[in-house]
Amino acid sequence: MNFCYITPKRGGIYIDCSFDPDFIEAIKAHVPAAERKYDSVTKQWWVSDKYRRQAELDCKSFFEKIIEC
């Protein structure tokens, strides 16, 4: 099962999810680089509040289980 955890924090949301190259392409296409960041240590995406709604829609499109923390 693919999953996604969404945690609001620091002016945006953190997304912790199963690896899905199509999801990564969607985030990159829908959220400008200045409004997102990938942390290779924690393996989480951060998306600013400005693009939160779009990121949540992308999560819902790609993952079966979404858990808001």
- Check residue 4 and give its pLDDT: 95
Average pLDDT value for residue range 11-40: 96
Q: Is a pLDDT exceeding 90 seen at residue 2?
A: no
Average pLDDT value for residue range 36-59: 96
Domains contained in the chain, CATH given = 3-68 (3.40.1170.30)
Q: Is a pLDDT exceeding 90 seen at residue 10?
A: no
Label residues 3-34 b or e (16+ Cβ within 10 Å = b): ebbbeeeeebbbbbbeeeeebeebbeeebeee
Average pLDDT value for residue range 42-59: 96
Which positions ≥6 away from 69 have C-beta within 8 Å? Answer: 5, 6, 7
User: What SS3 state is found at 6?
Assistant: strand
Q: How many residues does the chain have?
A: 69
Average pLDDT value for residue range 23-47: 97
Is pTM beyond 0.85? Reply is yes
